[in-house]
Amino acid sequence: MTRLGFVGDVMLGRQVDDKQRSRSVEAVWGDCLDFLREFDGLFANLECCLSDRGQPWRRTDHTFHFRADPEWAVPALERAGVDCCALANNHVLDFETEALLDTLDALDDGGIAHSGAGRTRDDALDPAVVTADGLDVAFVSLTDNTPEYAATDSASGTAHVEIDVENPETRATVEEALARADATDPDLVVASLHWGPNMVVSPPARFRAFAKWFVDSGVDVVHGHSAHVFQGVEVYDGAPILYDTGDFVDDYAVDATLRNDRGFCFEVVVKGGAPATLRLHPTEIEDCAVREATDEAAVWSRERMRERSEPFGTSFDRDGDALVLSL
């Protein structure tokens, strides 16, 4: 049995960065640190660059710019046991190319695998490969956000695609990325997708079709993020599709209705080389740190997850604070 943890957006910049300069490296993980460290593999979307260099992106309109000091951020990721970061998102180039390159170097120096951004398009499409308790996991990261951040043959950036299974360019890019993952001879393939707009609680039909195409193409887990709120879970051909894993830690303003400060750590238990069980552990964000959810927050999140998953025919059991689903 191998336990893999998946979390949504980990944004370590702005106020999080400010607070971390005067508190312990582990403080950003609140009372979740020991829990996170128990996973055999831990995967996150890194929603910022790691650098003390660069100027805010001004080539096109871009409102928010997220950057964290790698001197504390990399040790924090290491101490939580983060094994791999998705970098295909709309913030990894917030402080231009030199900060992106610093991010790649900082993660490499910390021994943290990454996929989804690189010095060229070729680099950005390469999978990360993580060995978790003897299980080889190939991790592919793609985004439909911020097309101006897309890597090219001569420019650094992200692995960018349109979310359209009929788009020939999309099909070619996805097939290339998955072929590279398959070439590593993995036991498990994860597709991490930073897709869609903010504050949307359900995926559109084309996202569902896209996710199922990935599963049909050999993906074992779909790890979605971008909306800042969690969306429902669907199981397709035995593969969990986590349409959006929400926010895990950040300094964002909280919507009083959608409660983007509440969410889950998603645990996929793998047995016999295939996902067997999904467990959802309630969390919440407070004071720029992630914490185990209070009873009130946990109840709210469980109810919302049940509601958002029901249209996909997904129903959960309960084990303590967690929601549990057999795959």
Nearest to 117 by CA among 130, 105, 132: 105
How many Å apart are CA 327 and CA 275, to the nearest integer? Answer: 7
Q: How far apart are CA 272 and CA 295, in angstroms?
A: 35
Residues 6 or more apart in contact with residue 26 via CB below 8 angstroms: 33, 76, 79, 80
| Amino acid occupying residue 116 | G
Query: Over the stretch 33-75, which tens digit does the pLDDT of each residue have?
Result: 999 999 999 999 999 999 999 999 999 999 999 999 999 999 9
Question: How many domains in the chain?
Answer: 1
pLDDT one-digit tens code per residue, 137-193 = 999 999 999 999 999 999 999 999 999 999 999 999 999 999 999 999 999 999 999
Q: Which domain holds residue 15?
A: 2-326
| Percentage of the chain modeled with pLDDT above 70 | 100
Contact 128, 114 (CB under 8 A): yes
Confidence of residue 127 (pLDDT cuts 50, 70, 90): very high
- Residue 196 contacts residue 211 (beta carbons within 8 Å): no
The string of pLDDT tens digits covering residues 213-270 is 999 999 999 999 999 999 999 999 999 999 999 999 999 999 999 999 999 999 999 9
Can you give the C-alpha Rg of the chain in angstroms?
18
CATH of the domain at 17: 3.60.21.10
**What is the Cα–Cα distance from 288 to 30, expressed in whole angstroms?**
9
pLDDT of amino acid 81: 98
Category of 100 on φ-ψ map: left (φ > 0), alpha (ψ -120 to 50) or beta: alpha
Average pLDDT of the chain, as a whole number? 98
Q: What is the pTM of this model?
A: 0.98
Q: Quick check: helix, strand or coil at residue 1?
A: coil
